[in-house]
Structures are given as structure tokens and as C-alpha cells.
Amino acid sequence: MSAFNICLYRAKLSKRQQHASVSYYVDRGFLPEAVINFVSLLGWNPKTTKEIFNLNELVNEFSLGNVQKGGAVVDESRMMWMNREHLRRRVPENLGIITDEYAEIIFAVQNAAKATIPSLSGAMVNEKRLAKLIPAVVEHVDVAAEIGTNFPFLFSDPDLSSDAASTFLSSFWGTPSTMILSNLIKGLSEIKEADWNPPTIKKELKVRNQIES
């Protein structure tokens, strides 16, 4: 189904460009509502700074009178941004209730994780577990499947056999686990997003380790 022809890097639409099918983007993990939102704004001006619309909002607010005649300029990075916004909207406030839309996200994560880690145990991709896990990382992905491919440590038990792990664990010997966890959470939550990287995290863990010791 060739619904629109897309050229990356802010180019005008062209029939000669590849990946002209909407299904191509859906297959890549873009949400249908994000694709519709993106396409609707290619030639329509909503006369507002608002850019994220669900289907009902588009039906109510779309007007042919605001459709532009000039050629549309396409930017896939903007489409990715829209998909991220719609992806977040699918995460319910009450994680105890798995909506149909959220179940689709969970299913995409399950499939991606299983493809990335063939020996994955079913417990690691249990629906209820993923429902609580996804909100923690959804801000860092463009499509749902990336949660299953980009964060393999979420789906496997940690390797505690290394010397570094043994030293780290032994330093907490005799300290209540609740106190350790509370202190680590506090320290990690204070790390700014721009500084969220392995060296900073490792440094913070060492600092918290010294506090407990």
C-alpha cells in the first residue's frame, strides 16, 4: 500500500524514493497512530503549536481549509519523535491494568527480547513483569522493540562470578538488604540524565558502598 513517498533528511516527497509504503514503517515498529499523526501534518496546518494528535482529535480538528498546496517536506527524525510521544501515551498510569494498547507494546517487547536472547526464560518476559518494567526505559527508545534489543541486562540474571562483583557484594556483608537497596536507589536517582553512563554509575555505586561501610 503506497500511501506516501518519503525521503529522509528533510526532502520533498518523491515517487522515486524507496520505502514509500506505510506498512514499511509499521513493520519497523512505528505505531499506526504515530504514522497517521505524522502524515496528517505533512500538508495540514492545525493553526496551533500542538503536534501530537490522537485519531479522534484529528477527526474533530482536521479541516481541508488548512491544507497547504506546496510540496511537503519530510523529516524522519520528527516522525521518530512523534512515535516516542505516542509510545509513552500507551503506558497507562495504573500499571495494574493492562489495556489492549499497552498489551501490544508488551507483545512487541516480548518478541524482540526472545529474538535477541533465544535462551530467554518465560519468567523474564512475563506480561506482568514487563508491564512494570517498560515505563522505566520507555523514554530511551524510539520504538517498543528496542526495549527488548537494547537492554539485554533486563532479561537475564546478573553475572556475579567476576572478581569485581564478588568484592562489591562482600563489602555489604551483614548490612540489611533493604538499607542497601534504599541507599543505591537514592544515589542512582540523583544522577542527571546527561551523566547517565557506566563510569558515572560505577562511581556512584562505589560512593554508596563506602557510605554503607
User: Considering only CA atoms, which of 17, 10, 12, 11 is closest in space to residue 2?
Assistant: 17
Helix/strand/coil percentages in the chain, nearest 5: 60, 5, 35
Domain 11-80, second-level architecture:
Orthogonal Bundle (1.10)
User: What is each CA distance from 198 to 188, 194, 203, 205, in whole angstroms?
Assistant: 12, 12, 8, 10
For the chain, list residues with pLDDT below 50: 1-9, 13, 15-16, 18, 213
pLDDT for res 4: 44
Which helix (DSSP H) or strand (DSSP E) does residue 36 occupy?
helix 32-43
What's residue 179's pLDDT? 77
What are the domain boundaries of the chain?
11-80, 90-155, 163-212
**pLDDT confidence of residue 8:** 44
pTM: 0.71
Contact present, 196 and 209 (Cβ < 8 Å): no
